[in-house]
Structure 1
Amino acid sequence: MTTESQQKREPRHFSMIRTFSPADFVTLGNAFSGAGAILAQMQFLATGQPRWLWLAFGLMPLAFILDALDGRLARWRFQSSPLGADLDSLADVISFGVAPAALAFSVGLRGALDVVVLLYFVGCGVSRLARFNVTAATLSDGTGKVKYFEGTPIPTSLALVLVLAILFWKGLTGEALPFGVWDIGSFQFHPLVLMYLASGSAMISKTLRIPKF
């Protein structure tokens, strides 16, 4: 027979679905958009049909819109969620970290050294989000709003996606990528991938401070 003291010590069941706020469902939409973009890219590589890559490009701005809306919705309803910050970070890793890196691979940045840079970019995105979650409290003002970002926010990777979309539209992919390909020993390297190196490094920078509006 369970005593009253034992009942008090039992952990309360965490109901995930009941904990979700409307803003959390918008955040999931962000994650679905990023994951959908990755799956569309895989379909493009499997079939060679350009419409799939255009779908991937189109889902990226949708992810950005949903990422911007979730916070506004939470503030508008004055309803915070214990899952909100973690959900947002995980969704952003998919949509603005993994998906842009996969897009680069899809358009032809597939050399061994290209892949190293793309993995570095994803690692920087993950690290940047983790740092933000840890330091958000100390960077916020009296209202709880963060005053500035340390390093560029991960959604700035949409600029890379825009560059790739323009190149794809002009047929400058694969062997036609700008700046060509360099053979470094037995490895291949496309200089174009350096924009991912620069973007990743900017995300983890301590000296860059971007005001948050």
Structure 2
Amino acid sequence: MGPKAAEDEDIAVRPDGRGLSLRAMLPNAITAAALCSGLTGISFAIEGQWQYAVLAVVLAAVLDGVDGRIARMLNAQSRFGAELDSLADCISFGVAPALILFVWSLQGLPSFGWFAALGFAICMALRLARFNARIDIENQPHKSAGFLTGVPAPVGAGLAFLPVYLWIETGNDAFRDPLATTLWLGLIASLVISNIATLSWTAVRPRRDVRLPLIAIAGMAVAASLIEPWWLLITLSVGYLVLMPYALFRYGKVKRRRALHQAEQ
């Protein structure tokens, strides 16, 4: 989510009256680009260009991860940017994946498939609304422990496309089965709005003895994104799902440690 400031704070207007600076406009421009990328994915899906449709949403996720960080680097945070980011996320990671998956597979079950697409989009909107409602609340157990609540919006969209990755890579139409896709989308939608603790990248602190191997793995991942992008996306999706029980285990340890500390006071 985009960083925020007071609603009446007008940080983008120069005191000399010359209007908006490029520094203030850049993060919001990146957010708008992410929104356009997600919507373009729908256009590709209508034309049956499934690879481009999925990659357009993946590009939106990359841009979404960049805009907030650039805003903080440039000290260009604003409430407007936060609200724009939330609306863009709802469309790019809720509406766009739902429509792409409906055109790709779910329309094989006209009623249940459409309800699955609606449910996913609604759950994504509810997640983002919950985030905005809690943004000023100080007492957030998951956040204070370095965890997120539920599956983040970009990750949820990426997980929803797992059957598409497998279908593109293998060509097996079993992955395009509308009933299986409906059940899968329902599962991801439930994880998006769940209250379970999930890993946050900002809380990851690798030991010094593994940092160099991690840098090497990151470099290889970039190469894989160019050579075998679908296998990379499959690996990332499955890896995230495998790590979810680990996140619950870690949060359970933190929770027990906190309870013990409070009992000793």
Q: Please report how far the alpha carbon of residue 162 of structure 1 lies from its aligned counterpart in structure 2 after TM superposition.
A: 3.8
Unaligned runs of 5+ in 1: 1-14, 45-51, 182-189
Query: What is the one-letter code of the residue matched to 1:74?
Result: A
Return structure 1 stretches of 4+ with deviation > 4 angstroms: 144-147
Query: What is the one-letter code of the residue matched to 1:87?
Result: L
Question: Are the counterparts in 1 of residues 27 and 71 from structure 2 also a CA contact under 8 Å?
Answer: yes
Question: Are the counterparts in 2 of residues 139 and 148 from structure 1 also a CA contact under 8 Å?
Answer: no
Q: Please report how far the alpha carbon of residue 119 of structure 1 lies from its aligned counterpart in structure 2 after TM superposition.
A: 0.7
Counting matched residue pairs gives: 179
Match of 1:200 among 182, 189, 214: 189
Q: Please report how far the alpha carbon of residue 97 of structure 1 lies from its aligned counterpart in structure 2 after TM superposition.
A: 0.8
State the distance in 2 between where 1:18 and 1:164 align.
42
State the distance in 1 between where 2:100 and 2:138 align.
33
Question: Are the counterparts in 2 of residues 37 and 60 from structure 1 also a CA contact under 8 Å?
Answer: yes
Identity level (%)? 29
Quick one: structure 1 residues 107 and 82, their matched pair in 2 at CA, closer, same or farther if it must change by over 3 Å? same
Q: Show the counterpart of 1:127.
A: 126
Which structure is higher in helix share?
Answer: 2
Q: Any idea what the Cα deviations from partners look like across 1:100-136, whole Å, max 9, x if unmatched? A: 1122112221111121111111100000000001102
Higher relative contact order (CA 8 A, sep 6+): 1
Match of 2:30 among 23, 26, 32: 26
State the distance in 2 between where 1:116 and 1:25 align.
33
Q: Any idea what the Cα deviations from partners look like across 1:128-185, whole Å, max 9, x if unmatched? A: 00000110221589xx99943221111112122243132134334xxx334856xxxx
State the distance in 1 between where 2:144 and 2:89 align.
19
State the distance in 2 between where 1:158 and 1:127 align.
18
State the distance in 1 between where 2:87 and 2:145 align.
19
Unaligned runs of 5+ in 2: 1-11, 14-18, 203-265
Query: What is the one-letter code of the residue matched to 1:101?
Result: A
Question: Are the counterparts in 2 of residues 103 and 161 from structure 1 also a CA contact under 8 Å?
Answer: no
- Aligned-residue CA RMSD (Å): 2.8
Question: Are the counterparts in 2 of residues 60 and 95 from structure 1 also a CA contact under 8 Å?
Answer: yes
TM-score by length of 2: 0.60
State the distance in 2 between where 1:38 and 1:63 align.
12
